[in-house]
Amino acid sequence: MSATIHPSAFVEEGAKIADGVKIGPFCTVGANVTLAAGVELKSHVVVTGQTTIGEDTVIFPFAVIGEIPQDLKFDGEETRLEIGSRNRIREGVTMNTGTTGGGGLTKVGDDCLFMTGAHVGHDAIVGNGVIMANQAALAGHCIIEDKVIIGGLAGIHQFVRIGRGAIIGAVTMVTNDVIPYGLVQAPRGELDGLNYVGLKRAGVARSDITALRAAYQMLRQGDGAFQDRARRLSEETDSDYVREVVDFILGDSDRSYLAPR
């Protein structure tokens, strides 16, 4: 099935439009854009820059995808935005290309939902199955691992990492890294437990949830500094889930960690 392009849409010469793409009224598609099969731009969507969008992703009105970074150091370098498959990008969402200083690439995985007004900043790396609620914002250089949920009006500081399966409450400012499966809430982002609901919904075994609960308590109340507690856990645990948390804590970071309360 060939692409369907509304007569009022403007598609620049050079854009790569696959079969089955639907481009609605008053959309603008730049010359360096690639739209894979099944992509749908509802209406009034702008896709520009060196931007690739994967199969069956749907973008809703007034989203602006692939514009230049909101970074005063940016000087017109050729950088990219890559968006995976089956994403839902709702009204007014913005996603920027990368910067040379940040690696030149902003990347979004598959099966994500970006609700109205969400923002993905330059050089951010977003995993699979991520949900960003209304008006949530990622600053530049963030790393968001798979299955993270970010509540409405939450703000994620630049260079912050959020581990797999974590959940960030609404109206929360996160300025430090968040461990996998962490639960963060309060205006200044306090690590207040684990995402037990998400773990259960994902079908994680009770034994692993119990191990994670014990690991969290050790991180919260054990002797020594936070990193020292994590190193002790790495020597003692036989749970893959706890090991994931430990490896995250002991990995490279540009920010400190939110310590358990």
pLDDT given at position 260: 76
Point out the residues that are catalytic.
122-123, 140
Query: What's 255's DSSP letter?
Result: S
**Domain-embedded: residue 261:** no
**Are residues 124 and 206 both part of a single domain?**
no
**Are residues 128 and 27 both part of a single domain?**
yes
Distances (CA, A) of 12 to 48, 61, 82, 154, 212: 10, 19, 19, 36, 52
**Domain-embedded: residue 27:** yes
**Are residues 14 and 133 both part of a single domain?**
yes
Question: Residue 234's domain spans which residues?
Answer: 200-250
For 127-178, what is each residue's pLDDT tens digit? Answer: 999 999 999 999 999 999 999 999 999 999 999 999 999 999 999 999 999 9
Which of residues 115, 141, 167 is at a domain's end? 141
Residue 84, classed as helix, strand or coil, is: coil
Give the chain's domain count: 2
Whether the CB-CB separation of 47 and 66 falls below 8 Å is answered with: yes
**Are residues 15 and 135 both part of a single domain?**
yes
pTM of the model: 0.96
**Are residues 13 and 137 both part of a single domain?**
yes
CB atoms within 10 A of CB 156: 28
For 220-258, what is each residue's pLDDT tens digit? Answer: 887 788 888 899 998 889 999 999 999 999 988 887 777
Which of residues 103, 118, 141 is at a domain's end? 141
Share of the chain above pLDDT 90, in %: 89
If phi > 0 it is left, if psi is from -120 to 50 it is alpha, else beta; for residue 253 that is beta
**Are residues 130 and 244 both part of a single domain?**
no
pLDDT given at position 140: 98
pLDDT given at position 210: 96
**Are residues 137 and 208 both part of a single domain?**
no
- Average pLDDT value for residue range 41-70: 98
pLDDT given at position 227: 84
pLDDT band at 65 (very low <50, low <70, confident <90, very high): very high
Which of residues 111, 141, 171 is at a domain's end? 141
3-state helix, strand, coil in the chain (%, to 5): 20, 30, 55
**Domain-embedded: residue 260:** no
* CA gap 162, 227 in Å, rounded: 17
Beta strand segments in 68-160, E: 80-83, 88-89, 94-96, 105-108, 113-114, 119-120, 125-126, 131-132, 137-138, 143-144, 149-150, 155-156
pLDDT given at position 248: 94
Helix intervals (H) in 23-94? none
For 168-213, what is each residue's pLDDT tens digit? Answer: 999 999 999 999 999 999 999 999 999 999 999 999 999 999 999 9
